[in-house]
Chain A
Amino acid sequence: MPVLECIELEKSYGRSEALRGVSLKAEGGRILGLLGPNGSGKTTLIKLACGLLQPSGGEIRICGLAPGVETKKIVSLLPDRLSLPGYMSPAALCAMYEDFFEDFDAGRAERLLDELGIDPAQRVRRMSRGTREKVQLILAMSRRARLYLLDEPISGVDPAARDYIISTIMTNYAPDAAVVLSTHLISEAERLLDDVVFLGAGRVVMSGGADELRERSGKSVDALFREVFKC
């Protein structure tokens, strides 16, 4: 069973349609790239998978279940915004994650914080933006989830941090876990991807295995993207 499955998924806000007839699958042990220009519906799709939005039509399933309390136990979200409460420290946040998520690996989180030289006792609001993003990433990746949803994890981050984030994602690979990664920085991320979905104006414009697309088009995924989404 695919970890994440969308069947003719639709979402509209009033009159504007954010997603139309989106069907895709994310399998365990594979990294899926959700690629598209700004406003193409990537974040909407991710929010639907988290249960933060309700679909207007179609279905979305995580390990066969509709998004809800049960799926939140096996889904780890890294939002594209800073969502950590400012008055808490990384240590307090780890304790909170441990409290609420059975699959949280506190040891791994501590190790990663240590690796990056982040003071676990310092309150989040005193940290720089980059450090806050790293803490958020560490918390998300320290969960042994079935589905990782990473919304623009490398945008707005310096190149060294990007490399670190990409290698963290790769070393977190687990054979039964699927990673769905949305980004518009494709050239940086394409080596990471097993499968690719091009999302344009809420529709799936193209999809397939990354190497398959390279073979078929003779181009990199980045070049293919520029071609498909030429202004």
Chain B
Amino acid sequence: MDWQIAPESPIYAQLAQKLRRGIASGLYGPGEKLPPVRELALEAGVNPNTMQRALSELEREGLVFPQRTAGRFVTEDAQLISRARETLAREETRRYFSAMEDLGCSAGEISRLAAEIAKEGHDAGA
């Protein structure tokens, strides 16, 4: 995972966001065991306490649960994961729309562009 942490805002919040994306996208599959805190922190280049705080937040949201000595696991609740995915997707869309509006694009233009790019991607894939 490419962590890309910016120092301007609380790091734990950014880490939590990245972890949510990881779970929503399936990078960390349902029921999968997460790497230990120290390893994640080293990967992200951050303080283990900060990573710990991010994971605690995810625990509070129910996306992740601890199992006494075995470590932390991603939830198996598929509904919860898809809800998180939906929330993240909405955020991303809002951001996209806001950026397009800054460019002065209308709603019609946005739909047209979206269809074209999607087709491009589909053709490239095929």
A touching B, CB within 8 angstroms: yes
A contact set with B: CB distance below 8 Å: 29-31, 166-167, 170-171, 173, 187, 190-194, 210-212, 214-215, 218-223
Cα A191 to Cα B46 in complex, Å, equals 5
Cα A74 to Cα B45 in complex, Å, equals 27
- B47 near A191 (CB under 8 angstroms)? yes
- B8 near A194 (CB under 8 angstroms)? no
Q: Can you list 23 residue pairs at the A/B interface with Cβ under 8 Å?
A: A30-B49, A31-B47, A166-B45, A167-B42, A170-B42, A170-B47, A170-B48, A171-B38, A171-B42, A173-B48, A187-B7, A191-B5, A191-B45, A191-B46, A192-B47, A210-B11, A210-B50, A211-B12, A214-B8, A214-B9, A214-B10, A215-B9, A218-B8
A22 to chain B, nearest CB (A): 24
Cα A27 to Cα B46 in complex, Å, equals 18
Indicate whether A221 sits within 8 Å of B41 (C-beta atoms), given known contacts A29-B49, A170-B47, A192-B47.
no
In this complex, how many residues of chain B approach chain A with their Cβ under 8 Å: the count is 19
The 8 tightest CB contacts between A and B, nearest first, are A220-B7, A211-B10, A220-B8, A214-B10, A191-B46, A215-B10, A194-B49, A211-B12
Cα A212 to Cα B10 in complex, Å, equals 7
A228 to chain B, nearest CB (A): 16
Which residues of chain B have C-beta atoms less than 8 A from A220's C-beta? 6-8
Which residues of chain B have C-beta atoms less than 8 A from A187's C-beta? 7
Cα A185 to Cα B104 in complex, Å, equals 41
B contact set with A: CB distance below 8 Å: 5-13, 38, 41-42, 45-50, 53
Which residues of chain A have C-beta atoms less than 8 A from B53's C-beta? 211
Cα A187 to Cα B45 in complex, Å, equals 13
- B47 near A219 (CB under 8 angstroms)? no
- A219 near B42 (CB under 8 angstroms)? no
- B9 near A194 (CB under 8 angstroms)? no
- B11 near A211 (CB under 8 angstroms)? yes
Indicate whether A221 sits within 8 Å of B11 (C-beta atoms), given known contacts A31-B47, A170-B42, A170-B47.
no
Of B5, B8, B46, B47, most buried by chain A (CB within 10 Å of CB) is B47
Which residues of chain A have C-beta atoms less than 8 A from B11's C-beta? 191, 210-211, 214
Indicate whether A191 sits within 8 Å of B49 (C-beta atoms), given known contacts A171-B38, A211-B12.
no
Cα A26 to Cα B53 in complex, Å, equals 19
A159 to chain B, nearest CB (A): 13
Cα A215 to Cα B53 in complex, Å, equals 15
Cα A127 to Cα B7 in complex, Å, equals 36
Q: Which residue of chain A has the shortest Cβ distance to B6 in the bound complex? A: A220
Cα A221 to Cα B5 in complex, Å, equals 13
- B7 near A191 (CB under 8 angstroms)? yes
Which residues of chain B have C-beta atoms less than 8 A from A29's C-beta? 49
Cα A29 to Cα B48 in complex, Å, equals 9
